[in-house]
């Protein structure tokens, strides 16, 4: 296999993020705030415009609360790394201010051609949760990126081993699962595929820590750790609604006040995206073969109707 030594975490200076939706925009923000040059790619130009607006607003909120230091270890040697893409800013000398936020945004280059990612050290894929679509992208990434580049997927559930098998460098393919919203949620779940090298695992772990995250490790099982536990709860909330146990408001209030969750499960499903929830449940159902993961018909119907949640203005609730 034509692999080369992957870059050390401290040498990860240029990052490609593919998919500029809810997750990709937040991941690009984290990498840029840590001093990396970022290429943010989406097939939809409108998604790129929305991503830049949301990154600017999120950085502004974090800096106004003095919370940016949590995601930007400015004092660490990693922050001295010079981004290999232009525009270049040496963030080590900057205090976090609105100007520093603006500089982070400038480190993000929005692109529409995957060829632009040929020089990056790490790619984090955050496109639609479909194995076929992701595999096609991994084939292309394998062809285009330099041999030493690490190819990571932010998939919520899909086998990393199968994504890696689409490439000629399975030892450099890994799952890097962020949580929504990435700038706020402190976790990254790392998933080794069958052939992921220890070196790549430790580089991705160090990089995740460099951008301020706590790391947990999962074997390559459907839904990994968190979604295997979270999605059945969300699905059960849909069953409770579907079978008339209670109103959506009472289901959510019950779980918020009764179990101290920040959001009720139906509100959380809207926040995640009902399409993502359905895709994850289908991967769990197909992969683990237990009917308890079978998606509730109401969830299926909402997705069929285009009610994808907050991102589309309508899901279980209306956001219009
Ligand atoms: N950038 C910067 N700041 C943000 C932000 C963002 N993207 N999103 C929220 N915030 C800040 C807000 O400014 C606010 O700050 P203050 O409290 O200082 O005002 C704070 O976070 C809380 O935000 P809001 O007041 O707007 O709303 P909230 O209190 O409901 O909090 C939330 C929002 C942090 C998202 C919270 O509701 C929450 O933790 N919800 C659960 C999220 C969750 O479980 N995510 C995981 C989903 S599963 C997953 O991601 C995996 C998968 O594969 C599907
Ligand atoms: P999203 O719908 O908000 O964004 C996906 C983006 O990918 C869209 O802007 C779309 O235009 C773009 N895209 C689709 N196919 C593409 C392609 N072939 N090339 C380039 N761009 C393409 O989705 P999201 O919620 O950000 O989820 C993205 C990924 O992250 C999925 O794999 C999902 O399972 C995972 N994830 C989602 C969450 C969540 O809470 N939403 C949490 C963790 C992981």
The predicted pLDDT at position 74 comes to 39
Query: Which ligand is closest in space to the CA of residue 65?
Result: 1
Index of the ligand 2 atom closest to the CA of residue 20 = 9
Bridge-based pairing of strands 150-153 and 122-125 is parallel
Reference 238, options 230, 229, 228, 248; nearest CA is 248
What ipTM did this prediction achieve?
A: 0.96
Average pLDDT over residues 197-201: 98
H or E segment to which residue 106 belongs: helix 98-106
CA distance 15 to 274: 28
Q: Is the pLDDT of residue 248 over 50?
A: yes
Question: What is the tens place of the pLDDT at every residue in 47-85?
Answer: 999 999 999 999 999 888 777 754 444 333 333 333 333
For the chain, domains (ranges, CATH) are 9-218 (3.40.50.720), 228-312 (1.10.1040.10)
The response to whether 220 counts as a known ligand-binding position is no
128 lines ligand 2 (CB under 6 A): yes
21 lines ligand 2 (CB under 6 A): yes
272 lines ligand 1 (CB under 6 A): yes
**How far apart are the CA of 126 and the centre of ligand 2, in A?**
5
The response to whether 125 counts as a known ligand-binding position is no
Reference 218, options 159, 151, 303, 280; nearest CA is 159
Q: Is the pLDDT of residue 127 over 90?
A: yes
The response to whether 255 counts as a known ligand-binding position is no
Higher pLDDT residue, 170 or 98? Answer: 170
* Reported confidence tier of residue 96, pLDDT bands at 50, 70, 90: low
Question: What is the tens place of the pLDDT at every residue in 162-173?
Answer: 999 999 999 999
CA distance 39 to 114: 9
Question: Which residues touch 163 (CB under 8 Å, ≥6 apart)?
Answer: 131, 134, 135, 138, 153, 155, 173, 193
Q: Which of 69, 262, 272, 282 to mutate for ligand 1's pocket (most ligand atoms within 8 Å of CB)?
A: 262
CA distance 110 to 141: 17
Higher pLDDT residue, 247 or 89? Answer: 247
The response to whether 76 counts as a known ligand-binding position is no
Average pLDDT over residues 103-107: 93
**How far apart are the CA of 128 and the centre of ligand 2, in A?**
4
Q: Which of 59, 61, 272 to mutate for ligand 1's pocket (most ligand atoms within 8 Å of CB)?
A: 61
134 lines ligand 2 (CB under 6 A): no
**How far apart are the CA of 40 and the centre of ligand 1, in A?**
22
Question: What is the tens place of the pLDDT at every residue in 280-293?
Answer: 999 999 999 999 99
Question: What is the tens place of the pLDDT at every residue in 207-231?
Answer: 999 999 999 999 999 999 999 999 9
Reference 196, options 222, 223, 226, 217; nearest CA is 217
Residues marked active site are found at 156, 177, 189, 227
CA distance 298 to 217: 33
Average pLDDT over residues 1-6: 61
- Percent of the chain at pLDDT exceeding 70: 88
Question: What is the tens place of the pLDDT at every residue in 273-283?
Answer: 999 999 999 99
């Amino acid at each position: 296999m034509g692999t080369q030594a992957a870059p050390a975490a401290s040498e990860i200076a240029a990052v490609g993020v593919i998919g500029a939706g809810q997750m990709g925009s937040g991941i690009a923000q984290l990498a840029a705030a840590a001093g990396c040059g970022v290429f943010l790619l989406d097939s939809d130009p409108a998604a790129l415009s929305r991503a830049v607006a949301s990154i600017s607003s999120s950085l502004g909120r974090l800096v106004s609360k003095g919370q940016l230091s949590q995601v930007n270890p400015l004092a660490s040697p990693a922050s001295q790394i010079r981004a290999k893409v232009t525009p270049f800013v040496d963030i080590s000398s900057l205090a976090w201010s609105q100007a520093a936020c603006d500089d982070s945004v400038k480190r993000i280059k929005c692109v529409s051609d995957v060829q632009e990612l040929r020089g990056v050290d790490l790619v984090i894929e955050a496109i639609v949760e479909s194995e076929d679509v992701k595999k096609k992208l991994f084939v292309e990434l394998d062809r285009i990126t330099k041999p030493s580049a690490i190819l990571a997927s932010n998939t919520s559930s899909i086998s990393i081993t199968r994504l890696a098998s689409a490439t000629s460098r399975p030892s450099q393919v890994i799952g890097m699962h962020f949580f929504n919203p990435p700038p706020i949620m402190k976790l990254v779940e790392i998933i080794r595929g069958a052939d992921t090298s220890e070196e790549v695992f430790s580089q991705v772990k160090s990089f995740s820590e460099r951008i301020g995250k706590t790391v947990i490790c999962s074997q390559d099982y459907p839904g990994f750790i968190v979604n295997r536990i979270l999605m059945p709860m969300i699905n059960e909330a849909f069953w409770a609604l579907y079978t008339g146990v209670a109103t959506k408001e009472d289901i959510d209030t019950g779980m918020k006040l009764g179990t101290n969750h920040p959001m009720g499960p139906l509100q959380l499903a809207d926040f995640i995206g009902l399409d993502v929830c359905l895709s994850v449940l289908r991967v769990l159902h197909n992969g683990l073969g237990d009917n308890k993961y079978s998606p509730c018909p109401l969830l299926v119907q909402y997705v069929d109707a285009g009610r994808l949640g907050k991102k589309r203005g309508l899901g279980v609730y209306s956001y219009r």
